[in-house]
Amino acid sequence: MHKIQNIVGRLVEVRVEPPLTLEEIKQFVEEHKATVSRIQDRYVGVVDLHKADIFPAEVTDALIQLLSRMAERVERTAFLISESAVFALQIERVLRNAANPNRRTFREPEPLKEWLGEALNAGERFRLNRFLNDVLTSDDGGRPAKK
């Protein structure tokens, strides 16, 4: 399951929950392109992956391709991930291969909010807070699941 939206300014919000199939990643790629194309400037992304787990290799490859193609449009993107060391390694490999140093992983919402907040205006920061508040009030209390 995934959800991508742009409610305010340049902030693109993404949520991903397992399972994420190759068919769904293809749909996600199209939705992502459509969402980002409506933003005139570079965009700032926040990606909630804290409920996600290891992606199949074909999903990982599709993510690398998407992130590589969008690299020049990204001002910053932050990924909230679980505390799973294996999943963290997988996502960090995806980000390395996508070749944009303005993407980072976080295991807690507060440092993510501080880092992204530096690039956002007041309205975008407000919306980021709402997005992260949804994470904090989710069924697991916003703490990435321990594996």
Strands (E), the chain: 2-5, 11-16, 43-49, 74-81, 103-106
Three-class secondary structure of residue 82 per DSSP: coil
> What is the residue-level pLDDT of the chain in tens, covering all 147 positions?
889 999 999 999 999 888 888 888 889 989 999 999 999 999 999 999 999 888 888 888 988 888 888 888 999 999 999 888 999 999 999 988 888 889 999 999 999 999 999 999 999 999 999 999 987 776 554 454 443
What are the extents of the domains in the chain?
2-136
What is the architecture, at CATH level 2, of domain 2-136? 2-Layer Sandwich (3.30)
CA distance 70 to 39: 13
CA distance 146 to 51: 10
CA distance 15 to 19: 12
Instruction: For the full predicted model, state whether its pTM sits above 0.75.
Output: yes
